[in-house]
């Protein structure tokens, strides 16, 4: 254990990983890997791929994710100093959630100054949440049944399969059940491919120019920080600078709503509805089809328990990620690292620390993202005593520059899940990706309807 970084033994010497404790070298190597991924990604910059009259824009955040994933996947063939252990990959995953709060803080600061504009969206922001929670089933369940997937389809399509969904299915059916295998498949597919898939999908849909960019932004708030960052960034990249800020703002507002009510919505509405829909559709679409997954199939491996980080380790991670964000901001957005930019990052980190502190002292009853977002919004709410100054300082840091290092950590954590992913079979992967597409498109369609109702 490293006393200096405050890393706990149970987080850094996992008995099931087959590796020795990480000590000081593991975290240092991990953050150097992340720095390399950020610099490479920001140097590559935005890459536009034309598709006829449309296009896909690949952002630095996507390159960072791919660089991190490539490093992890190539680890067995790399020389010792470049070889990432499974323990280091798990460490990357452990840092992912707290470092996402930096991105959330930046979005909260954007949202605060745009509260009147958000309120003007009216019912579109309220009802688009139904698209998030039912879109997964509407898009994914029929495809699953046509491919011969049985009750695994319930777990794979009632939500986007993040941690709360694992808990809901585990308590209701057990993780060794067909429904449990389905939600694990959705979880693993989302972990490995989710951000890449939704970034490419969002970029292509945005290039069609058939949706209001703000409707697509609301669709991007799927409840997963990394997927929201990837989707909103892909949409914003095709907009004017002012509209890009609005895209980030509305995506953040949507994601906050999804995060806050998501567990209750999936438990009391989307899961019961998916069970009902399965009972009605399976006799029509799936009864005559051979089961794609045998009843005695080997269970999908559950994700490892997350490593535990001390408060000191988390703070060190925040500071380093903030520094990486400033590096990316300088490379891609040509903003020199001067006193004002450093002050802006200090404010962002202060919002993160204050929000995380409230999260702890209130017994963790509300997600940390709620507290961080609330503090950020309060600081920049129009008419506030420091709103103008805070907005000016933090406005020098592009929100996409903060997403790049976070996606680098997501990429560095992927390789540990690939062996499990290979066992899923292509059918359940297709269904999982359809569910991810459904939550984005479902919300965007509903938001578009309320913004531009048919005459």
Q: What is the pLDDT of residues 405-429, one digit of tens each?
A: 999 999 999 888 888 777 778 888 8
CA distance 335 to 319: 19
pTM (global) more than 0.85: no
pLDDT tens-digit profile of 29-62?
Answer: 999 999 999 999 999 999 999 988 788 999 999 9
Q: Where are the alpha helices (DSSP H) in 293-398?
A: 311-333, 339-361, 368-380, 387-394
Q: Please report which confidence band the pLDDT of residue 299 belongs to, taking 50, 70 and 90 as the band edges.
A: low
- β-bridge mates for residue 7, sequence order: 309
- Whole-number pLDDT of residue 103: 92
Q: Please report which confidence band the pLDDT of residue 223 belongs to, taking 50, 70 and 90 as the band edges.
A: confident
pLDDT tens-digit profile of 304-314?
Answer: 666 888 899 99
Count CA atoms within 13 Å of residue 113 on its CB side. Answer: 18
Q: Please report which confidence band the pLDDT of residue 197 belongs to, taking 50, 70 and 90 as the band edges.
A: very high
Q: Please report which confidence band the pLDDT of residue 6 belongs to, taking 50, 70 and 90 as the band edges.
A: very low
Give the angle 322-328-331 at the CA atoms, nearest 5°: 145
Domain range list for the chain: 9-117+305-412, 121-300+423-451
**For residue 114, what are the contacts with CB-CB under 8 A and spacing of at least 6?**
245, 246, 249
Q: Tell me the angle at which helices 339-361 and 368-380 cross, rounded to the nearest 10 degrees.
A: 130
Asked if 359 and 366 count as a contact pair (C-beta separation under 8 A), the reply is yes
- Whole-number pLDDT of residue 366: 83
Burial class (CB in 10 A: 0-12, 13-18, 19+), 137: buried
Q: In the predicted model, what is the mean pLDDT of residues 328-341?
A: 96
pLDDT tens-digit profile of 148-181?
Answer: 898 899 999 999 888 788 888 988 998 778 898 8
Q: In the predicted model, what is the mean pLDDT of residues 298-321?
A: 82
- Whole-number pLDDT of residue 295: 58
Among the residue ranges 210-214, 318-322, 414-418, the one predicted with the least confidence is 414-418
Above 90 in pLDDT, residue 137? yes
Burial 106-124 (b: 16+ CB within 10 A, else e): bbbbbbbbbeeebeebeeb
Q: Please report which confidence band the pLDDT of residue 431 belongs to, taking 50, 70 and 90 as the band edges.
A: very high
Residue with the larger pLDDT of the pair 343 and 187: 343
CA distance 274 to 134: 8
Burial class (CB in 10 A: 0-12, 13-18, 19+), 276: exposed
Q: Please report which confidence band the pLDDT of residue 21 belongs to, taking 50, 70 and 90 as the band edges.
A: low
C-alpha dist (Å) from residue 32 to 22, 99, 397: 15, 16, 22
Above 80 in pLDDT, residue 392? yes
Q: In the predicted model, what is the mean pLDDT of residues 364-377?
A: 90
Asked if 109 and 252 count as a contact pair (C-beta separation under 8 A), the reply is no
- Whole-number pLDDT of residue 358: 96
């Amino acid at each position: 254990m490293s006393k200096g970084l405050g890393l706990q033994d149970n987080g850094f010497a996992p008995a099931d990983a087959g590796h020795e404790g990480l000590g000081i070298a593991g975290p240092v190597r991990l953050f150097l890997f992340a720095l390399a991924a950020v610099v490479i990604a920001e140097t590559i910059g935005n890459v536009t791929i034309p598709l006829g009259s449309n296009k896909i824009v690949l952002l630095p955040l996507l390159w960072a994710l791919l660089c991190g994933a490539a490093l992890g996947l190539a680890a067995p063939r790399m020389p010792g100093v470049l070889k990432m252990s499974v323990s280091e990959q798990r460490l990357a995953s452990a840092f992912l959630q707290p470092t996402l709060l930096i991105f959330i803080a930046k979005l909260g600061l954007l949202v605060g100054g745009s509260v009147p504009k958000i309120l003007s969206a009216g019912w579109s922001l309220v009802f688009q949440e139904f698209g998030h929670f039912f879109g997964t089933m509407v898009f994914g369940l029929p495809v699953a049944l046509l491919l011969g997937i049985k009750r695994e389809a319930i777990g794979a399509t009632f939500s986007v399969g993040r941690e709360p969904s694992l808990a809901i299915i585990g308590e209701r059916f057990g993780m060794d059940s067909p429904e449990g295998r389905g939600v694990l498949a959705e979880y693993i597919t989302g972990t490995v491919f989710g951000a890449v898939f939704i970034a490419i999908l969002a970029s292509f849909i945005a290039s069609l120019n058939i949706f209001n960019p703000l409707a697509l932004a609301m669709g991007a708030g799927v409840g997963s920080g990394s997927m929201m960052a990837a989707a909103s960034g892909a949409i914003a990249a095709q907009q004017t600078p002012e509209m890009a800020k609005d895209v980030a703002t509305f995506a953040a507002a949507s994601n906050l709503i999804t995060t806050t009510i998501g567990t209750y919505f999936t438990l009391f509405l989307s899961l019961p509805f998916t069970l009902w829909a399965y009972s009605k559709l399976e006799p029509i679409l799936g009864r005559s089809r051979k089961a794609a997954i045998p009843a005695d199939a080997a269970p999908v491996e559950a994700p490892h328990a997350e490593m535990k980080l001390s408060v000191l380790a988390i703070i060190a991670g925040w500071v380093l990620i903030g520094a990486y964000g400033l590096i990316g901001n300088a490379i891609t957005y040509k903003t020199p690292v001067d006193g004002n930019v450093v002050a802006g990052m200090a404010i962002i980190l202060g919002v993160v620390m204050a929000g995380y502190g409230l999260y702890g002292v209130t017994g963790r009853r509300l997600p940390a993202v709620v507290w961080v977002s609330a503090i950020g919004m309060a600081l920049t709410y129009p008419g506030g005593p420091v709103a103008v100054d805070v907005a000016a300082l933090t406005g020098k840091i592009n929100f996409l520059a903060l997403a790049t290092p976070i996606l680098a950590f997501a990429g560095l954590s992927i390789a540990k899940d690939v062996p499990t992913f290979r066992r899923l079979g292509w059918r359940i992967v297709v269904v999982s990706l359809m569910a991810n597409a459904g939550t984005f498109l479902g919300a965007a369609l509903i938001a578009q309807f309320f913004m531009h109702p048919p005459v």
